[in-house]
Amino acid sequence: MPHDLKALATALAPHLICRQCPAMNTRRGINLPGQRAMVAVLKELLSILFPGCLTYEPVDHEDVDGLTTRLNSIADALVDQITRIESYRVLERTRPEDFDCAAQANQVVGTLFEQLPHIRTLLQADILAAYEGDPAAHSNMEIVMSYPGLLAIATHRIAHVLYQQDVHLLPRVMSEYAHSRTGIDIHPGASIGEGFFIDHGTGVVIGETCEIGRNVRIYQGVTLGALSFRKDAEGHLVKGIKRHPNVEDDVIIYANATILGGDTVIGKGSIIGGNVWLTHSVPPGSRLFYEEKV
């Protein structure tokens, strides 16, 4: 135990934090968003998409007023967190000083709420894909309540809408929450079509610029990643470019396959076997497997 705790407190004081790399939320200046608050909003949104399944209480089909009240509460919490995020971006000078943070937050939340019925439709297709693709699944409710892949993709479908609107911190926190719960790492920038099924799931990685079509099934340990990271003349990583593969409709990718590169395209209806390492495109209907040599 240090004897001079006051000196230690002074050394750790908020005013000594590096301005170039802040990692502290204080009452002076901008009150930053909170990780716990952002995860709480995600859980509320998930409970709206799966009514009565993720909480103890069943829902009343006729209680439209009650649902309206809940949606209003979620909207207020989301607007508050996004306003804080945008205010921090003003502080970082990635937004102009006169940027209307609250107006931006309201617009983002409005767009997300408009998309909620569509998100639920996508998730219904994801549930059906899991039920039809897994012989161990005994009911759709089993998938909703216990399948890690569904939690990961449901979180992603919310986070992706936010990410598309140039809000990055909130969807990253949401996706990392799902990652911590499931072992499935889906960047919120990835584009994923309906009927997506991740079986087992642990160790799956899907990169930011990945594009996945409809009715795709992948298994544990699959990586859809970058082949290399381009740097500029000064040695800094170049961001915002295509780095991850495209996977077309009706593709199956088996366990521990690794597919890399922004120019790599897996053609429609292909099957990629377990442990395959792939850095080039394959045409539709391809079958790639590693065969054991005896």
Give the closest residue to 284 by CA, choosing from 254, 246, 257. 246
Pairing of strands 265-266, 246-247: parallel
Question: Which pLDDT score is estimated for 53?
Answer: 85
Q: Is the pLDDT of residue 294 over 50?
A: no
Q: Name 211's bridge partners.
A: 191, 246
This prediction has a pTM of 0.89
Of 132, 105, 112, the residue nearest 33 (C-alpha): 105
Domains along the chain with CATH numbers = 31-183 (1.10.3130.10), 203-294 (2.160.10.10)
Q: Supply 99's token pair.
A: 């940027």
pLDDT at 230: 78
Higher pLDDT, 74 or 29: 74
State the pLDDT at residue 23.
Answer: 60
DSSP state of 292: P
pLDDT over 60 (residue 197): yes
13-47 per-position pLDDT tens digit: 665 555 555 666 665 566 778 899 999 999 999 99
Question: How far are the Cα atoms of 123, 134, 148 from residue 199, in angstroms, in the given order?
Answer: 15, 8, 9
Distance between start and end Cα atoms, the chain: 62
Query: Which tens digit of pLDDT belongs to each residue from 122-177?
Result: 999 999 999 999 999 999 999 999 999 999 999 999 999 999 999 999 999 999 99
Residue 93 has pLDDT above 90, yes or no: no
The yes-or-no verdict on residue 180 having pLDDT over 60 is yes
% of the chain beyond a pLDDT of 70: 88
User: What CA–CA distance (Å, rounded) separates 132 from 240?
Assistant: 36
Alpha-helical runs (H) found in the chain: 5-11, 35-49, 64-91, 101-133, 140-146, 148-164, 169-182
pLDDT, tens only, 254-290: 999 999 999 999 999 999 999 999 999 999 999 999 7
